[in-house]
């Protein structure tokens, strides 16, 4: 493309994408699909990299997404971001009211608002346009997270109505509980698929929506932030000139400018009304779609606020009443042990049903043997349960005064409750494992679940519960058995599913339509490419990327099964640990047998010829380093080298045979390669190397 045409196209794409962004983020009404949007964005990125001189300073590639903000810039707050005094007690709340009353007399009002459990943000608008968004930081200066805040749909980029020319609005950024559950589930799934052990997964998941929200807001890549579904409520306006005479009025005004103001606020004339609001919201709290941790009480009239003023740290005209974490006392009926799909054991307290935070709790996590030891649990103890940020409640303590004199200490099990294999505990780890991964039922079910999951064989109609049902009904043991299922076996099959939180067992059955769907899904899965089949086998440490590399390097399952450890471990970014897992997996006779069955069922165990992945040994023994950008992705280029017998190395050294130099290669690398007299070749020259001599 010539330079004039490129300039035109860049302008056209930038304008179009801005319009779509506006429709998406501000009007909440996307005008094209995400996919179409991403395609246009990619085209723009490509053009901008070729013709950087025409890129807009506020190009859509920079504003949403892109790796622009490596570190956040610190910005001083024009008005310090103070915190609030807080209390958990009604008496202290009444003391606060008395102090206020001494200054304000009796005829005034409070505004009671929800105290959102998120992170504070201060957003500056100039002439109705979002200028800057800064986190609370240390109260005097915070992180400039404007690019990220702009991805939050409920925060307007452009205001409507009659707003002051320059002002700051403060509020709270948070994540809805449902979004949190969904994203955390996805994260869990992808960690499992990457081969992360179950006991390590808990540490890597977010503990509550607040953490997830704050982690998201501090991400460097705004396109990622946009996927986190963050939301915001605004609750305070700061402007140099007066915009309203009371807080409630400013909230109403802020709504007319386009801000999302939570409508659960009330004007109260005295502490009795305040207290009634606090209690009402405490009851309604479980029904909200987001977490709150209390109620904020603010004097409504601005002139009174001013008169009351501030202490060094906090306003005298506002206070936060915080709800205590609810706990309940109940009887421990027994401790049971769950076996996870990787064999990790979790002890669970089975409780006399008790009501807590709006739900009935029957089970609570005891985490591991150390935690049980810490609690020193005895039979029929009375225990305190709490709902933390986690979905499953936890046991926090024992009411010792209620312990029976003859109660026996509960000791941790030594054998797997499902298959009776003696448990193991690795050095330095807290979790016990059942090592019987090829016969222990929950572990077999886990492998089946992984096999049918969306990113593996993606079999329609077969979710985790159905798979577990098929296993328990004795219809499938390994994933090869799935391909022998018949309509008669599936149709009407009844199975049970267990609700983790409440421990309720629900009965379910497979309907005619689902049965047909499952069979169709299984038939369709026979076309799933080899690399995904390889991933679906559930070899430890073989996630999607490794599966892809192995598939491309070896081309077929037969070649991979014949491969020795060195030829796997020698691959770029594979290494010995993964190679060991692969070798172990294929040495197991049962695994080989299962694969043979899958082969006869017609699954793809070779790379498709259409992918044109020819292989050769033409680069045998040669070491390559690739740097810069090429006509194909760097990963594809590396795969091409490996398929032809070459080796990829990560750094320049004397033993390097070729450096393939792409566009935008770093100058230091070039210099070092020159100094060491390495062969520096272009992509074209490299491709010429691949042509077999006649
Ligand atoms: S007003 C000077 N209102 O709670 C007034 N804060 O503990 C400043 N918060 O830093 C804050 N919901 O992050 C206010 N409705 C609400 C709030 C709220 C949550 C947070 C905010 C603040 C912290 C104080």
Domain coordinates in residue numbering, the chain: 3-62+325-402, 74-322, 441-527, 530-601, 623-689
DSSP state letter for 71: S
Give the ranges where 367-415 is alpha helix by DSSP (H): 369-375
User: Strand, coil or helix: what is 688?
Assistant: helix
Looking from the CA of residue 265, the nearest atom of ligand 1 is 15
Looking from the CA of residue 315, the nearest atom of ligand 1 is 2
Q: Which residues contact 280 (CB under 8 A, 6 or more apart)?
A: none
Tell me the β-bridge partners of 236: 170
* Ligand 1 pocket mutation, candidates 81, 85, 112, 116, criterion most atoms within 8 A of CB: 116
Task: Answer for the pair 342, 367: CB distance below 8 angstroms, yes or no.
Answer: no
Return d(Cα 188, Cα 191) in angstroms, integer.
5
Q: Which residues contact 152 (CB under 8 A, 6 or more apart)?
A: 25, 173, 230, 231, 232
Beta-strand runs (E) in 91-239: 110-116, 119-126, 129-135, 141-143, 166-175, 230-239
Looking from the CA of residue 293, the nearest atom of ligand 1 is 19
Overall CATH class of domain 530-601:
mainly alpha
Task: Answer for the pair 267, 110: CB distance below 8 angstroms, yes or no.
Answer: yes
Per-block mean pLDDT, blocks of 10 residues, the chain (694 long): 90 86 49 66 88 84 42 86 86 95 94 94 96 88 92 94 95 94 84 66 78 85 88 94 93 96 96 96 91 95 95 88 86 94 90 85 90 93 80 85 93 96 87 91 91 88 88 94 96 78 72 92 92 92 87 91 90 84 94 96 84 71 90 82 87 91 85 90 84 58
Residue 502's nearest CA partner among 358, 665, 686 is 358
Taken as a whole, the chain contains a residue count of: 694
CATH architecture of the domain with range 623-689: 3-Layer(aba) Sandwich (3.40)
Q: For the domain made up of 441-527, give the CATH fold.
A: DNA polymerase; domain 1 (1.10.150)
By CB neighbour count within 10 A (0-12 exposed, 13-18 middle, 19+ buried), where does 659 fall? buried
Return d(Cα 329, Cα 354) in angstroms, integer.
8
Tell me the β-bridge partners of 508: 495
Which amino acid residue places its CA nearest to atom 4 of ligand 1?
115
Looking from the CA of residue 320, the nearest atom of ligand 1 is 7
Return d(Cα 59, Cα 433) in angstroms, integer.
52
User: Strand, coil or helix: what is 638?
Assistant: helix
Would residue 115 show up in a list of annotated catalytic residues for this protein?
yes
Domain 441-527 identical in fold to domain 530-601: yes
Biggest CA–CA distance in the chain, Å, is 101
Looking from the CA of residue 262, the nearest atom of ligand 1 is 15
CA 418 and chain centroid, separation:
31
Catalytic site residue from 102, 115, 322, 623 = 115
Distance of CA 268 from the midpoint of ligand 1 (Å): 18
Q: H or E stretch including 547?
A: helix 544-554
* Ligand 1 pocket mutation, candidates 78, 306, 311, 320, criterion most atoms within 8 A of CB: 320
CA 624 and chain centroid, separation:
36
Tell me the β-bridge partners of 339: 345
Task: Answer for the pair 238, 163: CB distance below 8 angstroms, yes or no.
Answer: no
* Ligand 1 pocket mutation, candidates 79, 115, 295, 310, criterion most atoms within 8 A of CB: 115
Which amino acid residue places its CA nearest to atom 10 of ligand 1?
83
DSSP state letter for 13: H
Residues near ligand 1 with C-beta < 6 Å? 82-84, 86, 113-116, 120, 172, 235-236, 296, 315, 318, 320
For 373, phi then psi, to 5°, come to -65, -45
User: Cα separations (Å) of 370 from 334, 375, 429, 660?
Assistant: 18, 9, 10, 54
Task: Answer for the pair 314, 82: CB distance below 8 angstroms, yes or no.
Answer: yes
Task: Give the count of alpha carbons within 13 A of 658, CB side only.
Answer: 21
Return d(Cα 518, Cα 612) in angstroms, integer.
32
Instruction: Give residue 67's pLDDT.
Output: 24
Question: For residue 334, is it left (φ>0), alpha (ψ between -120 and 50) or beta?
Answer: beta
Looking from the CA of residue 114, the nearest atom of ligand 1 is 15
Return d(Cα 626, Cα 640) in angstroms, integer.
12
Return d(Cα 425, Cα 369) in angstroms, integer.
10
Residue 583's nearest CA partner among 540, 613, 614 is 540
Distance of CA 296 from the midpoint of ligand 1 (Å): 7
User: Strand, coil or helix: what is 392?
Assistant: coil
Distance of CA 318 from the midpoint of ligand 1 (Å): 10
Q: For the domain made up of 74-322, give the CATH fold.
A: D-amino Acid Aminotransferase; Chain A, domain 1 (3.30.470)
**C-beta atoms surrounding 577 within 10 Å:** 11
Complete edge-to-edge strand list for the sheet that includes strand 647-648: 647-648, 623-627, 658-661, 679-681
DSSP state letter for 23: I
User: Cα separations (Å) of 9 from 31, 42, 50, 443, 651?
Assistant: 20, 13, 12, 54, 38
Return d(Cα 511, Cα 176) in angstroms, integer.
34
Task: Answer for the pair 391, 501: CB distance below 8 angstroms, yes or no.
Answer: yes
Return d(Cα 202, Cα 187) in angstroms, integer.
11
Distance of CA 220 from the midpoint of ligand 1 (Å): 26
Task: Answer for the pair 112, 295: CB distance below 8 angstroms, yes or no.
Answer: yes
Distance of CA 240 from the midpoint of ligand 1 (Å): 20
Instruction: Give residue 97's pLDDT.
Output: 97
Return d(Cα 546, Cα 178) in angstroms, integer.
32
Distance of CA 113 from the midpoint of ligand 1 (Å): 9
Instruction: Give residue 518's pLDDT.
Output: 94
Tell me the β-bridge partners of 120: 172
Q: H or E stretch including 351?
A: strand 345-356
Residue 202's nearest CA partner among 346, 337, 325, 339 is 346
Distance of CA 83 from the midpoint of ligand 1 (Å): 7
Instruction: Give residue 609's pLDDT.
Output: 62
Which amino acid residue places its CA nearest to atom 12 of ligand 1?
115
Which amino acid residue places its CA nearest to atom 6 of ligand 1?
115
Instruction: Give residue 530's pLDDT.
Output: 94
Provide Rg for the chain, Cα atoms.
31
Q: H or E stretch including 572?
A: none
Overall CATH class of domain 3-62+325-402:
mainly beta
Which amino acid residue places its CA nearest to atom 2 of ligand 1?
82
- Angle between helices 589-601 and 575-587 in degrees, nearest 10: 80
Residue 603's nearest CA partner among 517, 538, 520, 527 is 527
Tell me the β-bridge partners of 167: 125, 239
By CB neighbour count within 10 A (0-12 exposed, 13-18 middle, 19+ buried), where does 393 fall? buried
């Amino acid at each position: 493309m010539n330079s004039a045409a490129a300039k035109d196209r860049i302008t056209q794409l930038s304008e179009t994408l801005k319009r779509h962004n506006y429709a998406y983020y501000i009007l909440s009404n996307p005008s094209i699909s995400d996919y179409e949007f991403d395609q246009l964005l990619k085209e723009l990125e490509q053009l901008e990299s070729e013709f950087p001189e025409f890129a807009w300073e506020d190009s859509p590639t920079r504003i949403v997404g892109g790796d622009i903000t490596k570190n956040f810039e610190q910005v001083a707050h024009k008005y310090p971001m103070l915190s609030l005094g807080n209390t958990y007690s009604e008496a202290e709340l009444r003391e606060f009211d008395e102090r206020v009353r001494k200054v304000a007399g009796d005829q005034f009002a409070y505004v009671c608002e929800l105290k959102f459990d998120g992170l504070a943000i201060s957003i500056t608008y100039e002439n109705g346009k979002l200028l800057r968004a800064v986190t609370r930081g240390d109260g005097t200066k915070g992180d400039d997270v404007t690019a990220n805040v702009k991805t939050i749909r409920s925060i307007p980029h452009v205001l409507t109505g009659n707003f002051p020319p320059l002002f700051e609005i403060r509020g709270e950024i948070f994540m809805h509980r449902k979004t949190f559950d969904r994203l955390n589930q996805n994260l869990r799934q992808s960690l499992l698929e990457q081969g992360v052990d179950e006991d390590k997964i808990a540490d890597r998941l977010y503990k509550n929506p607040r953490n997830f929200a704050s982690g998201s807001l501090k991400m460097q890549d705004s396109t990622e932030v946009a996927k986190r579904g963050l939301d915001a409520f605004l609750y305070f306006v700061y402007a140099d000139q007066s915009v309203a005479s009371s807080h409630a009025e400013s909230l109403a005004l802020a709504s007319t400018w386009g801000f999302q103001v939570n409508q659960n606020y009330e004007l109260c004339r005295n502490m009795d009304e305040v207290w009634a609001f606090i209690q009402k919201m405490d009851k309604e709290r479980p029904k909200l779609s987001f977490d709150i941790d209390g109620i904020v009480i603010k004097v409504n009239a601005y002139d009174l606020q001013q008169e009351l003023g501030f202490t060094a740290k906090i306003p005298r005209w506002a206070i936060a009443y915080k709800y205590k974490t609810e706990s309940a006392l109940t009887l421990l009926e027994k401790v049971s042990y769950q076996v996870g799909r990787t064999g990790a054991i979790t002890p669970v307290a089975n409780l006399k049903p008790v009501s807590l935070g709006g739900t009935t709790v029957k089970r609570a996590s005891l985490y591991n043997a150390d935690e049980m030891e810490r609690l020193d649990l005895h039979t029929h103890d009375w225990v305190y349960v709490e709902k933390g940020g986690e979905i499953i409640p936890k046991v926090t303590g024992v009411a010792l005064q209620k312990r029976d004199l003859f109660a026996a200490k509960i000791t941790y099990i030594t054998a797997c409750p499902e298959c009776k294999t003696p448990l193991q505990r690795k050095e330095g780890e807290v979790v016990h494992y059942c090592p019987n991964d090829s016969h222990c039922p929950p572990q077999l079910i886990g492998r089946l679940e992984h096999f049918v999951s969306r990113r593996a064989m993606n079999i329609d109609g077969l979710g985790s519960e159905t798979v577990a049902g098929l296993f328990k009904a004795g219809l499938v043991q390994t994933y090869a058995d799935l391909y022998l299922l018949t309509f008669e076996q599936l149709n009407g099959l009844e199975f049970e599913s267990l609700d983790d939180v409440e421990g309720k067992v629900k009965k379910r059955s497979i309907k005619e339509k689902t049965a047909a769907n499952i069979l169709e899904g299984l038939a369709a899965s026979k076309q799933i490419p080899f690399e995904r089949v390889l991933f679906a086998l559930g070899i430890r440490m073989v996630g999607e990327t490794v599966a892809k590399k192995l598939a491309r390097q070896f081309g077929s399952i037969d070649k991979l099964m014949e491969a020795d450890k060195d030829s796997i471990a020698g691959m770029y970014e594979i290494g010995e640990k993964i190679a060991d897992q692969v070798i172990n997996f294929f040495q197991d006779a049962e695994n080989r047998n299962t694969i043979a069955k899958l082969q006869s069922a017609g699954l793809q165990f070779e790379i498709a010829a259409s992918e044109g992945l020819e292989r050769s040994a033409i680069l045998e023994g040669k070491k390559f380093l690739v740097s810069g950008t090429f006509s194909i992705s760097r990963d594809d280029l590396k795969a091409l080298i490996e398929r032809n017998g070459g080796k990829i190395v990560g750094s320049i050294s004397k033993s390097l045979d070729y450096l393939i130099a792409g566009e935008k290669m770093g100058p230091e690398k070039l210099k070092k390669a020159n100094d060491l007299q390495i062969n520096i070749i272009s992509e074209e020259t490299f491709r010429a190397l691949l042509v077999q001599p006649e």
